[in-house]
Structure 1
Amino acid sequence: MITSIKLMDVASYSPTSPVTINTDNKKVNLFYGLNGSGKSTLGNFLQSSADPIYQKCEVLPANEDHEILVYNQKFVQQNFYEIPQQKGIFTLSEVNKEAEEAIENADQAIRKIIEFQNQIQIKVDGKKKEITNETTALKDTVWKAKSKHDRTELEFCLDKFKTKDKFLQKIEGSSSPCDSTFKELKKEAKELNEQNGTPRESIQTISFIGNYVEKEQIFVARIVGSKDSYLAELVEKLGNSDWVQFGMQFIKDNGPCPFCQQELQTDFSTSISQLFDTTYQSKQEEILNLKNVYESSISSLELNLNSGAFVAEYIADNSELSTAKALLLTCLKDNLNLISDKYNKPSEIITLLDTTEHIEHLNNIILKVQSEVVAFNDKIKNKKIHLTNITQKFWSLLNSEYAALIQATTEKIINLNQDVENLNVDYKNKNAEKREQENIIIENSKKITNIDLSIKNINEQLKELGLQGFQLDKVTDDSQHYKIIRQGKAEEDVYNSLSEGEKTLISFLYFLESCTGATDQESTVILKRRIIVIDDPISSLSHNYVYDIATLIHHKVLLADFKQVFILTHNLFFFHELLMLNAPSNRPTPYKLHRVTKSDYSLVKDLQRNEIQNDYQTYWQIIKDCMENHNYINMLPNAMRNILEHYFTFIHKKEALKKALEELGKSSSEFKPLFRYINRESHSDSININDFEGIDVDKYIEKFKQVFEKTGYDEHYYQMMGLDKPVAPIEVA
């Protein structure tokens, strides 16, 4: 059973907003709508759902085993205009108990097979749902990684992968090994993008020209005064040569001793001078020179380390280099202090620190930094290539992060797909069993079927409807086709000589017979698989046949054991007849009612029985709707025409209407097309197609009201429009 139908982007249905028709699992679905509202599109779709024009339409459930038979203009065209005679419709005639039992048993077996297949399909759907759930869960989990890297330095890696499907596919296809981390990739990307293409300055290794000073032997030698002075032995014994030398600057001629303030001997100054002779002084000057050289070398080194590339951010932020630089400078300054001490105390022995290892260590770091600079400059030069490499590494890292989950999900889906495949094999195997049972039905149907009963049924029905002068007959005695003949005439193309009403009746009777039969002896007829669709079977019939057609549908279609029935009509009387025959108010509702309307696009809405108006009321409702919503403007002239024709025919005032229309047409020339359109009686006349685009709704309704005023029936106009009639002003004499 069809549970829902979706119509979109076809005929008068919206190209973007689908119209969904829910049947609520009702066997009978009745559709009412004015001509042009979009009813026939529904029937055409059910008849030819595989046509590419219906690619955006859908019937659910899609895999249901059913046969759809549709009565519409296409059916009439194919069966009566395009072939010289109708195909024989095979129905049960002879009583053959064994054959009937075989058919019934085969039908029961087919039903069980179909039920078994339905259970298989339920399992398949369940497995497919599991596959969908597994896939969705994987996509959702992996998608969370995207938020981690949105609005970060690595956001550019996400370009072109902004849907869950593409995101997962990219991760699954990025299995290359990667030894980087997200943190490293962010840093690299930041450096590339922040520098804006500016290369870094190279950094050179350093050298310390004062390094040789540290190896001078003078620092490990004791420098003392000359032994020629009589004071030499005493000074050496006391071990205070440096103290004495320091005190010499305070000795004044004929002055007291600067240390003990006693009177000095006259030759004391001479003896002191002899003690610290030129050799001593030259040694001291040598120490001073070495000190100056060392100090100057340190200054040069410091200047070098605090200028150029060494002050750049990428160098200054290198903690390893900063530490090594600080250790070297500290060592150099310690040595400088030791040299100063040696100069002040030449007799003391000092050992200077060897800075060679510190310099080598610093230079090794500088070489390492320089290699990074070279690498960085290469990246700047080839930025696009390196950003591509970062992107590849980014996806490889994501692949590593989710590889286990992807693998586990893939294995689950493989197993579920295998289950689906196995179930489908079981389903197909049952198809073979079903074909065997269908062959049993076909073979046994041959024993008890022919077209004679169909001919008899249709001819009797034609008589009951009061149609005489033509009937159906076999083409030849042994033929499985029949044709329409006129009594006493050898006319070949009888069908085209019939009136439109006669054509409609005979084609519809043929269709009704087709519903319970088959058009060839090899077909399998199982009514419970058939869905019957009837589109406006009274479109060209007079009201005299409405009841008869409704009764035929009631007995031959609605009471038959069909799977489901869809009936579409524009005639409200016919719609009422179907309801009265098939759904008395004291019984549960066996049907679903639908209303088809059209403004910009066709719409289908549920319809309650108490909402149904008769045709005449419906046309007045269109007038009122147009006053509120100009989208219905294309329906306005036709509604006016039907109202005036119905009302003035009913009150036998057609001549008064004609006269009023002619007079109004003369006084209002711009409305002549409308009045001429309204004054035509035949609604089936093809020349009645008119273009009323751009009309002024308010003015047209005003002219419509004037017709009633002109004929003296304005009271009826105000009553049907739900308006109060204006009270004429009282003239004061």
Structure 2
Amino acid sequence: MIETIDIKNVATYDNQGVQINDLKKINFVYGANGCGKTTISNLIHDKTDLKFKESSIKWKNDLPIKVLVYNKGFRERNFGKGKLNGVFTLGEATAEQIKVIEDKTEELKVLKAEGIQKRETLDKLKADKEVAENEFKEVTWTKVYKKYETEFKEAFTGTLQKETFKNKLLQESASNTTVLQTIEKLREKSKTIFGQQPQPIQPITQISYDRISEIELNVIWKKIIVGKADVEIAKLIQRLNINDWVNQGREYIQDETCPFCQQQTITENFQSELESFFDETYLNDIKSLKELKQEYNLLTQNLINELNTIESNQKSLSSSKLDIDKLSAYLKTLISQNAANTEYLLNKVKEPSRSIELISLKEQLDFISELINSANSEIKKHNDIVANYSTERSNLIKSIWRYLVDEYKNEIAAFTTKKSGLEKGIENLEKQRKEKLDEYSKLDVEVKNLSKNVTSIQPTINEINRILKSYGFLNFAIVPTKEEGFYQIEREDGTIAETTLSEGEITFITFLYFLQLAKGGLSEDEVNNERVLVIDDPISSLDSNVLFVVSTLIKEIIKNIKADLGAIKQLILLTHNVYFHKEVSFIDGRTKTCNKTNFWILRKNDKVTGIQSFGIDNPIQSSYGLLWQELKSEEVKSSLTVQNVMRRIIENYFKLLGKLGDDELILKFPTKEEQEICRSLISWINDGSHSINDDLFIELQDRTIEMYKKVFKDIFILTNHEGHYNMMMNLTEETV
């Protein structure tokens, strides 16, 4: 059964839309032509149409059933093809067969009701479980999280939402076996461990300088490197101590000219003696000297660069363990000593015969190395603390949760027990509901198979023709076509009558076909399916006699729905005809309301449809009563509507019943001024309902309407018909 229809942003429905709530078994919706009734029936017929993408239909227990919609679209879908689909019913079944099917169908109803009950109970248990979890979640958040948020917030990292905190507490309750500690001890540890977490420090790379020390101790630096002594020229060179000077000058000998005196004194014998003096031993020593100097300079410069980098990096670290001041002092001395050694080496290469002693860098490098070792020792201690900190912090967090679980153990146990019970109940109900569904499906197949054996389309033909003849439609009838399973409309002479039928005849026969479809189905399987009927203006083109027939047929359906007989479970009827509405909604002379019935009125104001609910009270008793209903409705704001309503009430009541004309009504007012106001009212309502207003007249303000409503009331008071006015406006003595 449909419970709610929500329709918006389509046709005359704006973005606020209209919501028809609390739909009952029988539902009457009254509305003038063009106010959106057919839009509602089209929505129910095909919710998947894209124009209804913002509209919705809510079914009871979320269980949709088959919907049959009668409107203009139904006629267009079923007529105009030259034939009608056959409708299968149980008309040819024996009493015994029908009894079996009815009994099985009743069993289906019982099973469905039991299934719905199981589902409702299941939904209630699921809702109870959700409520219990939400309540527990709120309580744990308030009593546990908020209580310890300030001092233990770091322990709650990752659970800073109600749901995650609740789940964490339950998880810890099931798995935390940490030894229970006192709150005082936990608080003390939290002050030490919680806060800014220390980060590990990268150890400083140790320096290597063994090769530098080895080069510094090489004997070549003290060795006096001179030429061969047993050469004749050696005596002079050694006596004058000009080894290095001569050796350097050798490079400038190009020919016989002496590079020193610039005389042609360089003979072959002299050159031979020079070469003999600076022999291979001398040359090897010079080569070794240069190579060691180059290696030493490269090693020391690389080491100084490395130390400069260490100094720079450590200065940038706030947590450095290195004594930066001492390092800087040692490094400054080291650089100075290295500069001196560089000068010594340069001189030694220039004057190999000179003996030099390099300043040992080992002492400064030992100091620096010791600083680095000491710093690395501190770094190791720090990193050990960091590693242990993670373990200690993890253990502290476990201990905090263990304490919280113990403190809140009674509440946790109560919730866990309740949740477990609900989950078992849900599991059992889901199992029972599945069994009912399986049982229902099996029985439904059985009913469908029974129905297949006793259904046909001939009873539908007979019933439609019977009704047609009963109400004077004698010149045509429904007959089966040559194609099995279809009907066609045929005249007495055998010709197809569809194209020559009047609008009223087509409407009537269409509706009769719809009613048969409502009782049966287009296939044997559908005969016993539950269904909802939506009927939209079934008497638009019918005369008063047929109106009575249609209302009688619908009232029979209403009677069965109220008694829960047959497959039709709900009716939604939409109409613009007051007389039809009054006739079809009439119960009996004594009963005024029914709790299985609801009423609504659709109105269109300023091109937008609105709705007014009347519950079980029928708002339409007669066309005259409807006029008063319109007048007192807060939904009616159009001046044109108010004008027309007032005119028709005055014409109906005073002219036809009271025999009073306009002038007589005006003269009932005692003063000239009041008579003019009454004349103005009558002119206004006649002008508004019989002529086209210009733009200025249409822009009437609400206060103008209210003023004329007061004059309208005064007409009844001054003509001694105030009681009638009060009755029609539902005014009691207290409200008058």
Give TM-score, length-normalised by structure 1. 0.51
SS at match of 2:487: strand
Where do 1:448-597 residues align within 5 Å? 448-467=454-473, 469-476=475-482, 479-486=484-491, 488=493, 490=495, 494=499, 498-499=502-503, 501-525=504-528, 529-559=530-560, 561-562=565-566, 563-580=569-586, 582-585=587-590, 589=594, 591-597=596-602
> Is the contact between residue 172 and residue 399 of structure 1 (CA under 8 Å) also seen in structure 2?
no
SS at match of 2:62: coil
Letter in 2 for 1:401: L
Output the CA distance in 2 between the equivalents of 1:480 and 1:601. 42
Output the CA distance in 1 between the equivalents of 2:157 and 2:25. 52
Output the CA distance in 1 between the equivalents of 2:398 and 2:469. 81
Output the CA distance in 1 between the equivalents of 2:148 and 2:592. 63
SS at match of 1:78: helix
User: After alignment, is 563-572 or 643-652 more displaced?
Assistant: 643-652
Post-superposition offset of 1:140? 2.3
Letter in 2 for 1:596: I
- Matched with 2:429 is 423
Where do 1:210-225 residues align within 5 Å? none
Distance 1:492 1:616, change over 3 A: same
Unpaired stretches in structure 2, ≥5 consecutive residues: 197-377, 657-661, 663-682, 713-717, 727-736
Output the CA distance in 2 between the equivalents of 1:155 and 1:54. 46
> Is the contact between residue 31 and residue 568 of structure 1 (CA under 8 Å) also seen in structure 2?
yes
Output the CA distance in 1 between the equivalents of 2:101 and 2:646. 55
> Is the contact between residue 28 and residue 591 of structure 1 (CA under 8 Å) also seen in structure 2?
yes
- Deviation digits for residues 470-511 of structure 1 (CA, Å, limit 9, x no counterpart): 4322222x511112345558558638x642x43432222111
- Matched with 1:60 is 60
Output the CA distance in 2 between the equivalents of 1:677 and 1:91. 51
Output the CA distance in 1 between the equivalents of 2:696 and 2:473. 40
Match 2:700 to one of 685, 690, 696: 696
- Matched with 1:106 is 104
Post-superposition offset of 1:156? 11
Letter in 2 for 1:121: R
Post-superposition offset of 1:454? 1.2
Number of equivalent positions: 493
Distance 1:487 1:604, change over 3 A: same
Match 2:614 to one of 594, 602, 606: 606
> Is the contact between residue 464 and residue 478 of structure 2 (CA under 8 Å) also seen in structure 1?
yes
- Matched with 1:243 is none
Post-superposition offset of 1:131? 2.0
Letter in 2 for 1:120: K
Output the CA distance in 2 between the equivalents of 1:392 and 1:48. 63
> Is the contact between residue 47 and residue 56 of structure 2 (CA under 8 Å) also seen in structure 1?
no
> Is the contact between residue 21 and residue 604 of structure 1 (CA under 8 Å) also seen in structure 2?
no
Post-superposition offset of 1:40? 5.1
Letter in 2 for 1:32: Y
Output the CA distance in 2 between the equivalents of 1:55 and 1:700. 37
SS at match of 2:429: helix
Distance 1:191 1:143, change over 3 A: closer
- Matched with 1:31 is 29
- Matched with 1:134 is 132
Output the CA distance in 2 between the equivalents of 1:13 and 1:188. 67
> Is the contact between residue 643 and residue 689 of structure 2 (CA under 8 Å) also seen in structure 1?
no
Output the CA distance in 2 between the equivalents of 1:400 and 1:146. 11
- Matched with 2:209 is none
> Is the contact between residue 619 and residue 640 of structure 1 (CA under 8 Å) also seen in structure 2?
no
Letter in 2 for 1:605: S
Output the CA distance in 1 between the equivalents of 2:547 and 2:451. 35
Post-superposition offset of 1:7? 3.1
- Matched with 2:6 is 7
Post-superposition offset of 1:88? 0.8
Output the CA distance in 2 between the equivalents of 1:111 and 1:702. 55
Output the CA distance in 2 between the equivalents of 1:395 and 1:44. 63
> Is the contact between residue 534 and residue 567 of structure 1 (CA under 8 Å) also seen in structure 2?
yes
- Matched with 1:316 is none
- Deviation digits for residues 439-485 of structure 1 (CA, Å, limit 9, x no counterpart): 33333333432222212222332344444654322222x51111234
Matched, 1:434 2:450: no
Where do 1:291-310 residues align within 5 Å? none
Letter in 2 for 1:533: V
Post-superposition offset of 1:163? 7.4
- Matched with 2:90 is 92
Unpaired stretches in structure 1, ≥5 consecutive residues: 193-369, 379-385, 658-670, 681-689, 709-714, 724-733
Letter in 2 for 1:62: D
C-alpha RMSD of matched pairs (Å): 6.1
Matched, 1:80 2:79: yes
Output the CA distance in 1 between the equivalents of 2:492 and 2:542. 23
SS at match of 1:574: helix
Distance 1:33 1:443, change over 3 A: same
Post-superposition offset of 1:558? 2.6
Matched, 1:21 2:26: no
SS at match of 1:117: helix
User: After alignment, is 455-464 or 546-555 more displaced?
Assistant: 455-464
- Deviation digits for residues 388-447 of structure 1 (CA, Å, limit 9, x no counterpart): xx9999999679836977798578656744653453344334334333433333333334
Match 2:449 to one of 439, 443, 455: 443
Output the CA distance in 2 between the equivalents of 1:455 and 1:579. 29
Output the CA distance in 2 between the equivalents of 1:186 and 1:36. 75
- Deviation digits for residues 514-561 of structure 1 (CA, Å, limit 9, x no counterpart): 1211211232415xx443332332344455543222112112443462
Distance 1:123 1:590, change over 3 A: closer
Output the CA distance in 2 between the equivalents of 1:546 and 1:679. 32
- Deviation digits for residues 203-228 of structure 1 (CA, Å, limit 9, x no counterpart): xxxxxxxxxxxxxxxxxxxxxxxxxx
Distance 1:29 1:691, change over 3 A: farther
Distance 1:428 1:34, change over 3 A: same
- Matched with 1:615 is 623
Letter in 1 for 2:512: L
Distance 1:565 1:182, change over 3 A: farther
- Deviation digits for residues 635-658 of structure 1 (CA, Å, limit 9, x no counterpart): 554665687799989989xxxx9x
SS at match of 2:443: helix
Letter in 2 for 1:614: S
SS at match of 2:29: strand
Distance 1:556 1:22, change over 3 A: closer
> Is the contact between residue 599 and residue 619 of structure 2 (CA under 8 Å) also seen in structure 1?
no
> Is the contact between residue 452 and residue 524 of structure 2 (CA under 8 Å) also seen in structure 1?
yes
Output the CA distance in 2 between the equivalents of 1:160 and 1:18. 46
Distance 1:460 1:647, change over 3 A: farther
> Is the contact between residue 100 and residue 444 of structure 1 (CA under 8 Å) also seen in structure 2?
no
- Deviation digits for residues 5-39 of structure 1 (CA, Å, limit 9, x no counterpart): 3636565778679846335xx64333334456565
Distance 1:590 1:475, change over 3 A: farther
Output the CA distance in 1 between the equivalents of 2:117 and 2:614. 32
Output the CA distance in 1 between the equivalents of 2:697 and 2:163. 48
Give TM-score, length-normalised by structure 2. 0.51
Output the CA distance in 2 between the equivalents of 1:510 and 1:586. 32
SS at match of 1:94: coil
